[in-house]
Structure 1
Amino acid sequence: MISAVVTGNVWSTRRVDGLPSGAFLELEIPATGARMIAFDVLGVGLGEHVLVAQGSVASHWFTGPPPPVDALIIGSIDAGSTGSAPGSEGGPPG
């Protein structure tokens, strides 16, 4: 899994048939500065810290024939032990 920050939306007026409801989001990986596009079914927002699964794990999450998705946002990070998430005090939320 990858920890990343949502930096923007990717607008798509046409999609491949069979792609479920969701949004394409641009992400940045803070540790490297690398950018990627991931599919979001959770409805996360700009600036949120997220967890991303890639490859067959991401595409096989969907029911039916797997869509051509190789990066999927699977969680929103509320707080981390390193204090890197917004509002984190270095421990679990109280």
Structure 2
Amino acid sequence: MLHAVVTGNVWATKRVEGLPHGAFLEVQIEGTDSRLIAFDVLGSGVGERVLIATGSVAAAWFPGKPPPIDALIIGAIDDPASAG
């Protein structure tokens, strides 16, 4: 699992058939200069810290035939200062 920060949206008006509803977001892996495109079903926004699952685990989360996704945003990292 990776920690990352959402850095931008990736607009893809044409998609392969069978891709679930969600958005493509560009993320930067924390502590590196590495960026990747992750699929988001949570509604994450730019600047938000997120957790990323990669590889076959990312695609296996979806029911039925796994979609062609190899990076999936699976959670938002809460700011400890704002936690109740």
TM-score by length of structure 1 reads 0.85
Residue of structure 2 equivalent to 1:52: 52
Report the residue type matching 1:39 in the other structure: F
Higher RCO by CA contacts (8 Å cutoff, separation 6 or greater): 2
Report the residue type matching 1:75 in the other structure: G
Residue of structure 1 equivalent to 2:34: 34
State the secondary structure of the residue aligned to 2:58: helix
CA–CA distance in 2 between the matches of 1:7 and 1:71? 15
Higher strand share: 2
Residues 60-75 of structure 1: pairs in structure 2 closer than 5 A: 60-75=60-75
State the secondary structure of the residue aligned to 2:57: helix
CA–CA distance in 2 between the matches of 1:78 and 1:33? 22
Residue-pair matches, total: 84
CA–CA distance in 2 between the matches of 1:73 and 1:18? 19
Residue of structure 1 equivalent to 2:10: 10
State the secondary structure of the residue aligned to 1:64: coil
Gap runs ≥5 in structure 2: none
State the secondary structure of the residue aligned to 1:59: helix
How much has 1:13 moved relative to structure 2? Answer: 1.0
Report the residue type matching 2:17 in the other structure: D
Indicate yes or no: 2:13 matched with 1:23: no
CA–CA distance in 2 between the matches of 1:58 and 1:74? 9
CA–CA distance in 1 between the matches of 2:30 and 2:60? 27
Gap runs ≥5 in structure 1: 80-87
How much has 1:30 moved relative to structure 2? Answer: 2.3
CA–CA distance in 2 between the matches of 1:23 and 1:39? 6
Work out which of the two has the higher radius of gyration on C-alpha atoms and give 1 or 2. Answer: 1
CA–CA distance in 1 between the matches of 2:69 and 2:15? 12
